[in-house]
Structure 1
Amino acid sequence: MAVVEQIFPALTWRIRHLAMYPEQPYDFVKLENDFDGIHFGIYENYELIGVVSLFTEGDVGQFRKMGVLPESQHKGFGAQLLNYLIDFCEVQKLTKLWCNARVNAKEFYAKFGFTETNQTYSSSGIDFVRMEMKF
């Protein structure tokens, strides 16, 4: 059984690196404002296998760097982590939650009620689109 818990920011870095940017230097996955965010990890059999980071400004939240280890992908852990994050944002009375989704993952976020905007960009050879959910 997988369990989601709030975690210390530095615990996210190894998972981000392995799941999202293994070809980049380790420090590439560290965010300047990591220690201002709220971070969640999903554990399977006491092993951290996925992470997501939430940053809020007023009543709007942005989540960043959501990743699940490659060997644990496509098993529902990302969905469990995202559902937990959405529930947390509702309890915190946020009015909107958004992310810059990789274009190849936008269908995943759409299943949870996120809608695609016309805001797009590319970074490190990856295309992104802003997706939003209103509460």
Structure 2
Amino acid sequence: MAVVEQIFPALTWRIRHIAMYPDHPYEFVKLANDFDGVHFGIYVDYELTGVVSLFTQGNVGQFRKLAVLPEAQNQGLGKQLMDYLIDFCKIQKLTKLWCNARVNAKEFYTKFGFYETDKTYSADGFDFVIMELEIKHKDTKNTKC
């Protein structure tokens, strides 16, 4: 059973390092603004197995460093983290969510409604494309009891 919880920023670093940048120094995965974000972890049998970090500015959110341990990938954990993150953004009344997606992972994000922008770049040996999601909120004005 997998459970998503809000976690302390430093708990993300080990997962980021192992899953994303194992050949870089551990310090490489620490973001300057980590303590300004909201971080979520997915636990499988009480073991932290995946993470994602959210940073907001006004009503726009950027998520960074979605990572699942290699031995637990392709089991739906990334999807579960993304579903939780998008629901959290809706509750927070964000209107847009975006990310710097690795080009080889962009199909994963399109499954959640993200679309590619024309903004691309390369860093640390990876090609990235900025992807965005317009967050739709249910209209509660016309609901009947």
> Shorter-normalised TM-score: what interval?
over 0.9
Unaligned stretches of 5+ residues in structure 2: 136-145
The Cα of 1:89 is off from its aligned counterpart by 0.1
User: For residues 88-107 of structure 1, what are the structure 2 equivalents within 5 Å?
Assistant: 88-107=88-107
CA distance in 1, matches of 2:87, 2:74: 21
Write the letter of the residue equivalent to 1:129: V
User: For residues 1-135 of structure 1, what are the structure 2 equivalents within 5 Å?
Assistant: 1-135=1-135
SS in 1 for 2:23: coil
The Cα of 1:95 is off from its aligned counterpart by 0.4
The Cα of 1:46 is off from its aligned counterpart by 0.1
When normalised by structure 1's length, the TM-score is: 1.00
Give 1 or 2 for the bigger CA radius of gyration.
2
The Cα of 1:134 is off from its aligned counterpart by 0.5
Match of 2:138 in 1: none
CA distance in 2, matches of 1:74, 1:116: 23
CA distance in 2, matches of 1:121, 1:90: 29
Write the letter of the residue equivalent to 1:121: Y
% identical aligned pairs: 76
Write the letter of the residue equivalent to 2:26: Y
CA distance in 1, matches of 2:30, 2:122: 19
**What is the RMSD of the two structures over their aligned residues, measured on CA atoms?**
0.3
Match of 2:140 in 1: none
SS in 2 for 1:22: coil
Q: Which runs of 4+ in 1 moved over 6 A?
A: none
The Cα of 1:78 is off from its aligned counterpart by 0.3
The Cα of 1:108 is off from its aligned counterpart by 0.2
The Cα of 1:7 is off from its aligned counterpart by 0.1
Write the letter of the residue equivalent to 2:33: N
The Cα of 1:94 is off from its aligned counterpart by 0.1
Write the letter of the residue equivalent to 1:52: V
When normalised by structure 2's length, the TM-score is: 0.93
CA distance in 2, matches of 1:18, 1:78: 15
CA distance in 2, matches of 1:97, 1:113: 10
